Every structure is written in C-alpha cells, then in structure tokens.
Chain A
C-alpha cells in the first residue's frame, strides 16, 4: 500500500468517526501528504539542534523521532483531529502547556 493510500484510508477513518460529509479529493490528500512530510522534516531538522547539548544525544533523538514517525505515520490526520475548535480540547492543551512551561522554566533555569 502506497503512502498516498495510507493517508487516504486514514482520512476516511477520521471522517467516519467525526461524521463529516465532505468529499475526499486529490487536493485534500495532497495537502495532508505535504503537511505530513513538512511536519516530519521540520521536527527532524529541529532535533538536530540537540547537538548543542551533546552530539550523541542528538543521534539518539533523531533515531527515536524517525522510529516514532515511521511507526505512527500518518501523523497529520491525527494532529488535525486534535487541533479542533472543541473547547474541552483547547482547555486540555492549554493546561498541559501551562504545566510544561512552568516545569521547564522552573527546573530548566535552576539547571542552566
């Protein structure tokens, strides 16, 4: 099964769950595919910056990101489903982000 077909299948599944009636067009799938590749490529390049902490850690993290990306691919349909306008979802991510920010600022600073 090609990557295109995997994305198409995943979008159909998500649409069925969300009970969306919009048709799946070539544009939809191409857009999703582009977003998927952009996401993975950007994250991989961003992880290279870990070299500033330690080169070995960078290699481990790149390998980890690659393995995770390959295992959970396609990520974009899931991401799109999560990034919706539902208030509960938004609240959840806001609270999670607050926790992460406070933790990072607190412990990150103490250990710089």
Chain B
C-alpha cells in the first residue's frame, strides 16, 4: 500500500467504524470493544503517516504524471492546465499531523469517558462521535473546497445528532435551532464556493490561489468579494463566532460532557481549517485580516462577558469556549508567521483545555444531575482530587504558567505588539483576567461554598476512566506548557506558508 494512502485512512477509518457501530444495536460488549479500538487507532495513524499528498482516484496533476504528460501538446503543457489538480487532494504536513493527532486524542478521551460513564453504550452515539471526527479530520486535510463543504455539512449533522442523543431537557429544541441556523449559513457558504468555482473554474484551493496570483481572475472583482463575504459567513457558523456564539454555547450546554468536549474540538479545528483557507485565498486583500481581527475581538468580548453572567456551568464553559476562539482568530488575523503560529498553538491548547474542563465539570453532572450553579455547592468534599484537577484545568484556560495556554497567550500578545497593535495585547490580558474570574466564580459556587440542603448527591462513584482522562489531559497541558516547541515547531511551516 502506498504510504500516503494512510492520509485517506485518517478519514476512512472513523467513517467505516462509525457505520459499523451504527449497525450494532444492543450489542454492548462488541460496541465497547470496537469503539475503544477505533478510538485508540485514530490518534496513532497521523503519527505513522509520512508527510505528503494523497490524490483520490489517483488523479494527480499532469505535471506529476510522467506517462500522461508525454506527448501532450504545448497548448496543455504550456498553460496552467498542466498544473491543475483534477481530483480531490488531501495534504498532510506537520501542522495537520499535530491537529489531527490532538483531535484523535480528544476523541479517544471522549469515547473512553462515554463508554465508562454509560451503562449501556449506544452504537448510534459512537457513530455520531466518529462521524464528526472523520468530518473535521477531512476538513483539516482537504485542499478541495467543495469536499470541505460536504464534510462541513456532515459535521453539522453529527453535532446535531450528539445534542439529540444527550437526553438533556430541551435538547431537541436547541438541535432544531442549530439546524435552522445551519440552513442559512450552509447554503450561503455553498453559494460562495459556487461563485469561486464559476469564476476560477476550480474547487482546488491551491489552483484557485494560483489563478488569483497569475492574474487570470481579478481578485478584487465584486463577484469575488461577495464570495469572500459568504465564505466568511459560513466560517462564523462552523466555528461559533458571533452572531452564532449564542447557539454554539447552547449546543455545548445541551450535550453530555464527553459530547461537549468533542463538539468544542470540532469547532476549534473547523475554525482553524476554514480560517486557513480564507487566509490562503483572500489574504492578498488587507481587509480580510481586519475582518478576522474585528470578528475575533467581538467574539472574545461577547463570549467572556456573557460567560460571567451565566448561572449554568455548562453555559459558562460554552461561552468561555467561544471567547477563547477569539484568541485563535486574532492570531490568524494578525497575518504574521509568528502570529499565525501563536493562533494555531492556541487552537491546539484550547481544544485540549476545554475538553479537560467539560470532562471535569461533567463529574458534577454525574454526581448531582444538575448543572445549575445556584443549586450546587460543597462538591470539594465529595471528591477533592477531581476538584483539584478541575481547578488546574481552569488555571490552564486562564493562561496561568506553567500550563500550555500561558505560552500560546504570551505568544499572541507578543505577536500583537510586534504587529503594532498593542491594544489587542491589552484586551487579551484583560479578558484572560476576567476568564480567570469567571472560572473561579463557577468553581467557588460548585466546589467551595457550603452544600445546599436540598442538593442530592448520588452514590455512583466517578468512573476511574474519567479521572484517568483528566490526568492525561493535565499532563499534556503541562508538557506543552514546559516545552511549547513540541507544538510550535510543527505549526511554523504552515504559518510561514500563509504569509
């Protein structure tokens, strides 16, 4: 087998496993075994896969196919047709390796927690989790914008399914609202893609960039500008940036904790993947960066200020997750190699930390069946070790050293100052302090204040797998905090290529 075929396996394996799991209704043991094996293999594949490209159907560009290229007329060999990609291409570099690996790792912890917290694991739920992972992996790998759209839609459906399967009160309503809003954003994103296809004659991003750079198409034509706006709008929906921050935080709060951990990872990596595409296609125009920064600042301010006034801790986490997306956006919007590296590093860190927090706070739901902070208290006495782990996760999110987000936020602030925008650095510091305050408010009300008399704490013991997942995530936070170069070295090449 061609080693580069492993690039496709990163998407095909979770899809195949998901489809099979879907058929295994009521076969609990088989579901558990198959789900855990798939969850273990998913993060391993990107580590074994060599960097390169995979051409589906073997449709390589003519320039790379010596057999076909022989004897072709200069009409073809002398034009851009010779370079164009006729089929779907997946690209795998060190940055994709890191991000697909981290996504796989979060999937593993989510599945691991789900299988141990649920008495009768549902094959359909595992199907949805794996389909979502496959879709977001494809979005990260694909160089074909139409292929990205297809997986964007599948990811949205998988997310809706995860909410519906949660069984939490009013989950159907939230799922329906998310679908309805998706019915606005999805077609508009597709329209943007179609316009680009119509103008450039291509759906491959590399080819589109080539077309713009060579001047075959006027990149400032009103049609391209409209396409740019529509793709940016679709990006906002996929990642949960304003105006979709309210529904996105509702989505997280209506999913089970392991589901929410995975959903936020989907949002983070979709934001990064489509954000990179936007930068590749449209960064010739300085307004793109201004727009990304503007939206990111609004996301940070709205997300974090809305988080502090919430009384449901899942909603608090949901809004904080949205606010943290703003940090990633600022990194991308700064447009410098250092800024983009910092933004990508922040994405990796945020995906890990927010999963850690959702799984950690999930133990409260597991023990009390409520997420309303007004009804909670005294949880420190129930399980002090878990409380300590949750506290450390909160400190990581706020950017406290020596944990990972400290490094990425410091890099972001440095990048903002280097770009001549110290104001962004001030806003990021201010909002990090408020993030810390918000977290401490939630932590105090849940863990530290006296237990309300009416609060009933269930006897069920927190599964060891949940604690193991949290400890593992904490170790990753510490490692990336002490040795950030493990991640930044992998991300630098991609960032440099975008400048």
Contact = CB atoms under 8 A, between A and B. Distances in A.
A76 B426 contact: no
Contacts of B180: 87, 91
Dominant SS among interface residues on chain A: helix
Interface in A77-112: 79-80, 83-85, 87, 89-91, 93-98, 101-102, 104-106, 108-110, 112
Contacts of A45: 423, 426-427, 430
B297 A46 contact: yes
A38 B226 contact: no
Interface in B215-236: 220, 222, 225-226, 228-230, 232-233, 236
A32 B243 contact: no
Nearest to A34: B308
B309 A22 contact: no
A42 B229 contact: no
Contacts of B188: 98
Contacts, number: 130
Contact of B445 (A27, A93, A94, A102): A27
A38 B430 contact: yes
A90 B301 contact: no
A45 B416 CA distance: 14
Nearest to A95: B184
Interface in B261-314: 285-287, 290-291, 297, 300-302, 304-306, 308-309, 311
A104 B291 contact: yes
Interface residues of B, number: 52
B322 to A, nearest CB: 11
Interface string A43-86: 10110110010000000000000000000000010011001110
B150 interface: no
B225 A109 contact: yes
A38 B441 contact: no
A97 to B, nearest CB: 4
Contacts of B291: 101, 104-105, 108
Interface string B410-442: 000000000011011011001100100100010
Given A85-B177, A94-B184, A79 B305 contact: yes
B443 to A, nearest CB: 13
Contacts of B220: 109-110
Interface stretch (B69-77, B158-166, B244-252, B474-482): B244-252
Contacts of B48: none
B232 to A, nearest CB: 6
Nearest to A103: B229
B233 A84 contact: no
Interface in A6-61: 22, 27-28, 31-32, 34-35, 38-39, 41-43, 45-46, 48-49, 52
A101 B305 CA distance: 23
Contact of B301 (A39, A87, A91, A97): A39
B250 A85 contact: yes
Contacts of B290: 108
A42 B431 contact: yes
B37 interface: no
A98 B221 CA distance: 19
A34 B436 CA distance: 12
B242 interface: yes
B181 interface: yes
Interface string B442-480: 000100000000000000000000000000000000000
Which one of A48, A93, A96, A97 has the greatest number of beta carbons of chain B within 10 Å?
A97
B174 interface: yes
Contacts of A98: 184, 188, 233
Interface in B147-187: 174, 177, 180-181, 184-185
Given A22-B311, A45-B430, A106-B226, A112 B287 contact: yes
Given A85-B250, A97-B243, 5 more contacts: A38-B301, A38-B431, A80-B309, A89-B246, A110-B222
8 contacts: A28-B311, A80-B306, A87-B177, A97-B243, A101-B233, A101-B291, A106-B225, A112-B285
Interface of A: 22, 27-28, 31-32, 34-35, 38-39, 41-43, 45-46, 48-49, 52, 76, 79-80, 83-85, 87, 89-91, 93-98, 101-102, 104-106, 108-110, 112
Interface of B: 174, 177, 180-181, 184-185, 188, 220, 222, 225-226, 228-230, 232-233, 236, 242-247, 250, 285-287, 290-291, 297, 300-302, 304-306, 308-309, 311, 374, 420-421, 423-424, 426-427, 430-431, 434, 437, 441, 445
